[in-house]
Amino acid sequence: MVHQKFQEQSIVVPPEDLYEPIEYILSMGGKRLRPILMVMGANLFTNKLDEVWLPALGIEIFHNFTLLHDDVMDNAPIRRNKPTVHKKWNDNVAILSGDAMSIKAYQYIVSCDDHHLRQVLEVFNQTAMEVCQGQQYDMEFETRMEVSQEEYLEMIRLKTAVLLGGSLKIGALLGDASPGDAQLLYDFGVNIGVAFQLQDDLLDVYGDETTFGKRIGGDIVSNKKTYLLIKALELAQGEMQAKLVLHLNRKEFDPDEKIAVVKDIYDKLKVKEYSQKLMEAYMDKGIGCLEQVSVDACKKKELFGLVERLLNRSC
């Protein structure tokens, strides 16, 4: 249904160069996870979903705006198996189309009813600002040698998880949930979001290239300080530590060799297992929040099912 609502919308108006890239990135598809969460969040409390569709599109447009600008900042060539906007057009087109998308996102977000407008905007503004903070930390960590587990988890909370929590909370508010229930859904989303990102990091190393849509091992090649690397640096000792640091510091290397060596170290240190355990802890905490939401258990089935599918995915 969310996918269908997307196809019905077309936001092409002149000048073409501003809107074509917006259509392009939105047409790439993706899971539409955030709008789905918003609609499901509302659907826990109401069957009248008319008011939710446009804000749900808004949250997806906002998410894609952040992807578009992140791709410029990370100089990423590929997104969902296609050239990124700044590669297909250029940096300026990507910057300006992103700016237009962020405003377009607001136009959709504010199309809720007047009596929800203030609350919805407060959640959305705070969430949007935190996503920027998360991206800033992510970039900072690239040039910092030492990043702690706590710092990493806070970064992914801001960059990824709060937008899932915010989507659910806005949905809940649009469904006239109590403040307590809206907050529980937010906490559910944030915890599931951290779990989701930990899994994304795992898939970057252990996933399948075709279904994942990105090159496997990219995080290893770029020394991205994921939980896996941070944990490996904490656990490695002696010869293994020296080997890991050597490969991290090499300026010139064969990417496939580096991936193989680092993966081997990960395997020996069992960082995959540590990461999976942490992921499960966040998942359990999130599920605990959803269980406390004061609606019939049968209404929560769909959200539980979604979490189940999300965290057992291969792409």
Q: What six digits make up the tokens of 210?
A: 């075709």
Query: Closest Cα to residue 258, out of 221, 311, 228?
Result: 221
Q: How far is the CB of 177 from its own copies (least distance, A)?
A: 20
Query: Closest Cα to residue 201, out of 119, 250, 138, 110?
Result: 138
Q: How far is the CB of 287 from its own copies (least distance, A)?
A: 31
* DSSP conformation class of 97: H
Decide if residue 145 touches its own copies (CB under 8 A): no
Decide if residue 246 touches its own copies (CB under 8 A): no
Separation between Cα atoms, residue 112 and residue 106, nearest integer Å = 11
Complex with its own copies: residue 69 or 79, whichever CB lies closer? 69
Decide if residue 240 touches its own copies (CB under 8 A): no
Q: How many CB atoms lie within 10 A of CB 283?
A: 21
**Chain-centre distance of CA 22, in angstroms?**
19
Separation between Cα atoms, residue 261 and residue 248, nearest integer Å = 11
Q: Which residue has the tokens 């949930």?
A: 177
Whether residue 5 contacts residue 57, with contact meaning beta carbons closer than 8 Å, is answered with: yes
Separation between Cα atoms, residue 159 and residue 147, nearest integer Å = 16
Task: Pick the piece of the chain touching its own copies (CB under 8 A) from 50-58, 105-113, 183-191, 263-271.
Answer: 105-113
Whether residue 148 contacts residue 16, with contact meaning beta carbons closer than 8 Å, is answered with: no
Residue of 79, 104, 214, 225 interacting with its own copies (CB under 8 A)? 104
Residue of 54, 78, 110, 311 interacting with its own copies (CB under 8 A)? 110
- The SS3 call for residue 99 is helix
For the window 12-31, what string marks contact with its own copies as x by the rule CB under 8 A? --xx-xx-------------
Q: How far is the CB of 103 from its own copies (least distance, A)?
A: 5
Footprint (CB under 8 A) of its own copies, residues 166-185: none
Strand blocks (E) in the chain: 78-79, 82-83
Complex with its own copies: residue 22 or 236, whichever CB lies closer? 22
Whether residue 283 contacts residue 313, with contact meaning beta carbons closer than 8 Å, is answered with: no
Q: How far is the CB of 158 from its own copies (least distance, A)?
A: 10
Decide if residue 135 touches its own copies (CB under 8 A): yes
For the window 32-71, what string marks contact with its own copies as x by the rule CB under 8 A? -------------------------------------x--
Complex with its own copies: residue 140 or 308, whichever CB lies closer? 140
Decide if residue 222 touches its own copies (CB under 8 A): no
**Chain-centre distance of CA 161, in angstroms?**
6
* Residues binding its own copies: number (CB under 8 A): 34
Contact set with its own copies (CB under 8 A) = 14-15, 17-18, 69, 72-73, 91-92, 95-96, 98-100, 102-104, 106-107, 110, 114, 117-118, 121, 125, 128-129, 132-133, 135-137, 139-140
